[in-house]
Amino acid sequence: VVARNQRTAEVGIRPHKLGPSIVFAAALVASLIVGLLLWSGFEVDRSALRRDRAVADLVLRQSVERVAHLQESSTVWDDAVRQVHKRPLDMAWLDINLGTWFNEYAGFDEVYILSPRDEPIYAMRGGKRTVLESYIAVEDVVDPMADRLRRTTSIPKPTDGDVAMLSPGVSDLAVLRGRPAIVSLKPIVSDSGDIVQKPGNETIQVSIVYLDKDYFSRIGADYGLSHASYRLVPSNSADETSVPLTTATGRTIGYLVWSPFTPGKSVIRLVGPILLLVLVLFGVITYQLANRLARRTVDLENSRSLAQHQAMHDSLTGLPNRAMFEEHLDSALAHCRRYRTLLALLYIDLDHFKQVNDSLGHPAGDSLIQQVAHRLSLEIRGYDMVARLGGDEFAILLFDPDSPASVARACARIVAELERPFDLAAQQAFIGASIGVALAPRDSLDRHELTRKADIALYQAKFDGRGRYVFFKPCMDENVQMRETINRDLRLALADREQQLKLYYQPVYAAASGRIVAVEALLRWHHPENGIVTPDTFIRTAEESGQIEALGTWVLHKAMADAGNWPGLRISVNVSPIQIRNRTFARTVETILDETGIAPERLELELTETALMSASADVTETLRSLRDLGVACALDDFGTGYSSLSHIRDIAVDRIKIDRSFINTVDTVPGAALVEAIVGLARANGMHLTAEGVETETQLSFLRKVGCHEVQGYFMSQPVSAEAITQLLADEASLPALTQPADERAA
């Protein structure tokens, strides 16, 4: 069912999921953007590289073809055929047409002319004709090529991008003299077709072009391959790319290395930092937004749960309030009905709380309530519930107790616990509590009915003298019904007051002289069916229903009216705390005095401690107004209330009426000592004293002896009708003064 611990758990920060998910989404978007940039950059670079490689391949092939093509400007020529067959050779002619000329004209580095038997008949190197032996250095490469050429008869068909050739030829890349070179062989053939030679028996021109540094930087510049160079091994630098230089036979003779054009990388390099900055900014903003959102969510959650908590809890004690209590009672009763379990409902009312609150102030009262809440919480099990219903009322739900006996034990513990003193700022306070218990299903399974019965039991507990617990019994219901009947009948009585309401008067005697000095007005109700009803039966009910005000006003009026018949006599009237709390009370009294023409000095109001101790400014003001009027105040039932003997001097009254429970005990030693002390203390403080409930001669003489001013009790007279008082006064006047010429006036 309900755990008390819920109270503490309800307020607090709940873990939130919103912030992290937003941050995660932002991070995802950011990494997607970065990833896309990197990927597209790399993709662009890859295709740029593919293009570069294709270009490099083409350039190399074209370079080779170019050499072969250039050769043909001289090798496909009738004159050249004739000249290479002529003996002796015209070296000068060969220089300017087939040899040195090629160096000047096309930049060929070496040129050899091979006889049909592959013997060199002409050699040129670096633009100069040279010795035929220089052919030895290239022989190993050229001889196999010459063999191939002599076996080749067809002219290669031009493919895409190739240059159309006029004659067959063999050309390739090779390493000569330790350097990469283009080697190209062309037969020297007739251009007109007039000179017929046996195929494979032609004279061959060999052209060699070294791929030097200049060559590579030239093609680099022409085709956009920056820092192009030749290397024997491929580059392992990330910034360079290498294309192998392979011969027709598939031999790799080195590598063309260059720094590839990387537009992607450039873009990344350019955009990257900006993008990074934007993303960081985006991240920061997102984070802050998410953070704020999360905080706001948490705040909202908190304030919502706080509001929920406040709606369901009492702010002073943090205990569940009436709303929550009723909710839980309903569900507990449903559980009870369903599973046939026991449920105990305890209504707790603090005794004398009002006095503490009035005399020590509200902060002390609050502290007291908090301490009570704490003690109650410690007395119940974790799954039971204690709630504050308001003021000094608490309720406890005991879920599924073992038996009514265990409920009784719990109640006894609580009563004992609340009887222990409470430490308040200024002093210790003793209060105590009354508990009313109703059990479900025995008493009822309906919330309203069960709470009503717990309330009745509580009322009974208070009625029985407080500081106890009482289980509801069906007969109590009858009491309540009786109270309801009383209320209804009292309302009728007030309407018919001249018939049903009577004032009786009990004489008050001067202890020394025995003369009547005052009368106390006591209300009697002549019920049409029940006969005379004493105030004990109905005053409390009238206070509860609020009828006491009308009743009290009537009493005052009637007493003052009767007082007109008894000149010089003091009239005491009992006043309920409810009456004194009404701000207009002093005015009401004044009006009645005016109307009846009674001197204010003849009226004395009897107030209980509860009324007098009220710290309310209104009550203090009313009391002051009354005394200004000249009306006297007496403290009724002294000794039964909260205040101790030492409190006497703090109470602003003219008279103290010692309660009859004290007078009852004057025949015991401590009782006598107590009464003597009270009398002494009051006299020392300039107060008048009346002893009430004097029933015996002994009591009377004791009171006389200790100096009590006035006495009242059945020993002298019962309360009697107004007519009887008139009679008593007349009788007294005809009698001689009593003995004991004591001086109550001097006292």
The SS3 of residue 518 is strand
Stretch that binds Ca ion, among 142-150, 329-337, 346-354, 572-580 (CB under 5 A): 572-580
Contact 247, 172 (CB under 8 A): yes
The SS3 of residue 328 is helix
Residue 637 binds Ca ion, judged by CB under 5 A: yes
Q: Which does residue 719 touch among Ca ion, ligand C2E, none (CB within 5 to 8 A, set by kind)?
A: ligand C2E
Question: What are the φ/ψ torsions at residue 524 (nearest 5 degrees)?
Answer: -130, 140
Work out how close the CB of 343 gets to ligand C2E at its nearest, in angstroms, rounded to a whole number.
39
Q: Is the Cβ of residue 56 or residue 575 nearer to Ca ion in the bound state?
A: 575
Question: What are the φ/ψ torsions at residue 89 (nearest 5 degrees)?
Answer: -70, 145
Q: Which does residue 523 touch among Ca ion, ligand C2E, none (CB within 5 to 8 A, set by kind)?
A: ligand C2E
Angle at 343 between CA 405 and CA 338, to 5 degrees: 135
**Nearest to residue 334, comparing CAs of 226, 479, 440?**
440
The SS3 of residue 126 is coil
Q: Is the Cβ of residue 211 or residue 539 nearer to Ca ion in the bound state?
A: 539
115 burial level (CB within 10 Å; 0-12, 13-18, 19+): middle
Instruction: Select from 608, 636, 656, 722 the one that contacts Ca ion (CB under 5 A).
Output: 636
Q: Which does residue 522 touch among Ca ion, ligand C2E, none (CB within 5 to 8 A, set by kind)?
A: ligand C2E
The SS3 of residue 514 is coil
C-alpha distance from residue 58 to each of 48, 159, 536, 730 (Å)? 15, 12, 128, 155
Stretch that binds Ca ion, among 10-18, 42-50, 246-254, 684-692 (CB under 5 A): 684-692
Residue 110 binds Ca ion, judged by CB under 5 A: no
Concatenating the DSSP letter of every residue in 253-301 gives EEEEEEE---HHHHHHHHHHHHHHHHHHHHHHHHHHHHHHHHHHHHHHH
Work out how close the CB of 462 gets to ligand C2E at its nearest, in angstroms, rounded to a whole number.
17
> Interaction with Ca ion in 687-726: which residues (CB under 5 A)?
692
Work out how close the CB of 574 gets to Ca ion at its nearest, in angstroms, rounded to a whole number.
5
Q: Is the Cβ of residue 129 or residue 540 nearer to ligand C2E in the bound state?
A: 540
Stretch that binds Ca ion, among 51-59, 231-239, 484-492, 633-641 (CB under 5 A): 633-641
Work out how close the CB of 543 gets to ligand C2E at its nearest, in angstroms, rounded to a whole number.
8
Q: Is the Cβ of residue 427 or residue 534 nearer to ligand C2E in the bound state?
A: 534
Q: Is the Cβ of residue 264 or residue 719 nearer to Ca ion in the bound state?
A: 719
Q: Is the Cβ of residue 440 or residue 603 nearer to ligand C2E in the bound state?
A: 603
- Rg of the Cα atoms in the chain: 64
Mark 319-348 as b/e (b = at least 16 C-beta within 10 Å).
bbbeebbbebbeebbebbeeeeebbbbbbb
Stretch that binds Ca ion, among 35-43, 230-238, 347-355, 685-693 (CB under 5 A): 685-693
Handedness of CA 643, 646, 650, 653 (dihedral sign): positive
> Interaction with Ca ion in 477-496: which residues (CB under 5 A)?
none
Work out how close the CB of 695 gets to Ca ion at its nearest, in angstroms, rounded to a whole number.
14
Q: Which does residue 245 touch among Ca ion, ligand C2E, none (CB within 5 to 8 A, set by kind)?
A: none
Work out how close the CB of 334 gets to ligand C2E at its nearest, in angstroms, rounded to a whole number.
45
Q: Is the Cβ of residue 70 or residue 679 nearer to Ca ion in the bound state?
A: 679
Q: Which does residue 365 touch among ligand C2E, Ca ion, none (CB within 5 to 8 A, set by kind)?
A: none
Work out how close the CB of 319 gets to Ca ion at its nearest, in angstroms, rounded to a whole number.
39
Concatenating the DSSP letter of every residue in 425-469 gives SSSEE---EEEEEEEETTT-SSHHHHHHHHHHHHHHHHHTTSSSE
Stretch that binds Ca ion, among 112-120, 571-579, 597-605, 704-712 (CB under 5 A): 571-579
C-alpha distance from residue 544 to each of 178, 533, 540, 548 (Å)? 128, 18, 6, 8
Q: Which two tokens stand for residue 394?
A: 């608490």
Q: Is the Cβ of residue 410 or residue 575 nearer to ligand C2E in the bound state?
A: 575
Q: Is the Cβ of residue 317 or residue 576 nearer to ligand C2E in the bound state?
A: 576
The SS3 of residue 575 is coil
Residues contacting Ca ion: total by CB under 5 A: 5
Residue nearest to Ca ion (CB): 606
Work out how close the CB of 536 gets to ligand C2E at its nearest, in angstroms, rounded to a whole number.
5
Work out how close the CB of 522 gets to ligand C2E at its nearest, in angstroms, rounded to a whole number.
4
Work out how close the CB of 619 gets to ligand C2E at its nearest, in angstroms, rounded to a whole number.
16
Q: Is the Cβ of residue 320 or residue 577 nearer to ligand C2E in the bound state?
A: 577
Work out how close the CB of 403 gets to Ca ion at its nearest, in angstroms, rounded to a whole number.
43
Residue 594: partners with Cβ closer than 8 Å, 6 or more residues away:
none
Instruction: Select from 202, 606, 609, 710 the one that contacts Ca ion (CB under 5 A).
Output: 606
DSSP code, position 743: -
C-alpha distance from residue 47 to each of 89, 220, 264, 424 (Å)? 55, 18, 10, 89
Binding site for ligand C2E (CB under 6 A): 506, 521-523, 534-536, 539, 552, 555, 574-576, 606, 636-637, 660, 692-695, 713-714, 719
C-alpha distance from residue 597 to each of 327, 562, 590, 591, 600 (Å)? 59, 11, 10, 10, 9
Residue 574 binds Ca ion, judged by CB under 5 A: yes
Q: Is the Cβ of residue 523 or residue 560 nearer to ligand C2E in the bound state?
A: 523
Contact 510, 710 (CB under 8 A): yes
Q: Is the Cβ of residue 262 or residue 574 nearer to ligand C2E in the bound state?
A: 574
Work out how close the CB of 693 gets to Ca ion at its nearest, in angstroms, rounded to a whole number.
8
Work out how close the CB of 546 gets to Ca ion at its nearest, in angstroms, rounded to a whole number.
21
Residue 306: partners with Cβ closer than 8 Å, 6 or more residues away:
11
Residue 739: how many CB atoms within 10 A of its CB?
A: 9
Q: Which does residue 167 touch among Ca ion, ligand C2E, none (CB within 5 to 8 A, set by kind)?
A: none
Q: Which two tokens stand for residue 384?
A: 């039971």
Residues that bind Ca ion (CB under 5 A): 574, 606, 636-637, 692
